Amino acid sequence: MSFLYRVSGLRIASDRRFALLAGVPDEGGAPDVTIRFAPVPEEEGRACGYFRILGPERLDLAIPDVVRVRIAGGREMTVDMAPGAAEGALQTYLFGPAFAALLYQRGQIPLHAGAVRLDGEGAVAVAGHSRAGKSTTTRALMRAGHALFCDDQLVVDAATGLAQAGFPALKLWGGALAHFGEEIGARAQVAQGVDKYHVAAPGGFDLSPALWRAACRSIC
């Protein structure tokens, strides 16, 4: 059985359900990306942080005790999840660095930014380095009445300025949740021992693209 999703403008078929992604109906035709859960044997290659480059269009992302993901040709991700690994950590790494690498293979460079959708006015991005407060600022804009467009990775067509929606969740530190008066509750941690959590966006999620209107830089 395949579960169908759309992330950053790409149709994804997976043999496993992801609770934080936006499902889409089967419209026929081949998906842009296939995700398959299966063993991934370790191969020799050039190490680059948590990545190992195996060839021109093949690389692995290996997070100890969580997951190994083989990314190939900008179209396939084979996922080998470690026994006992948490779903929250899987979501973090599979749709964070692994998905970013797949986008690079497709010739798309994601911006390190979150964004909200302005009614009738396109999307506004919040960019910055890690821990600068991008997601916290994005959440504040959501609480002001704007809809979530993406978190952490924004894909924009440089020629047209058209941006693609991500998925209906963002990652917030425990302190940010407390600031907004929100409970941690049963929310999944982004990684074991890290006081940061996946937060689903309330209400529906608009998957349609939007014109990228502006960006602000978070420097907290």
For the segment 117-129, what is each residue's pLDDT rounded down to a tens digit?
988 779 999 988 8
Residue 220 has pLDDT above 70, yes or no: no
What is d(CA 27, CA 18) in angstroms, rounded to the nearest whole number?
19
Residue 189 has pLDDT above 70, yes or no: yes
Beta bridge mates, 55? 58
Indicate the DSSP class of residue 23. B
Spell out the alpha helix ranges (H) of the chain: 87-93, 99-105, 134-143, 174-179
Domain chopping of the chain, boundaries: 3-105, 113-217
- 215 contacts 126 by C-beta, under 8 angstroms: yes
Model confidence, pTM: 0.93
Share of the chain above pLDDT 70, in %: 98
For the segment 154-179, what is each residue's pLDDT rounded down to a tens digit?
999 989 999 999 999 999 999 999 99
Residue 5 has pLDDT above 70, yes or no: yes
Q: What is the mean pLDDT of residues 121-138?
A: 89
First to last CA, the chain: 44
pLDDT of amino acid 110: 93
pLDDT of amino acid 4: 98
For the segment 6-37, what is each residue's pLDDT rounded down to a tens digit?
999 999 999 999 999 999 999 889 999 999 99
- With helix as H, strand as E and coil as C, how does 6-59 read? EECCEEEEECCCCCCCCECCCCCCCCCEEEEECCCCCCCCEEECCEEEEECCEE
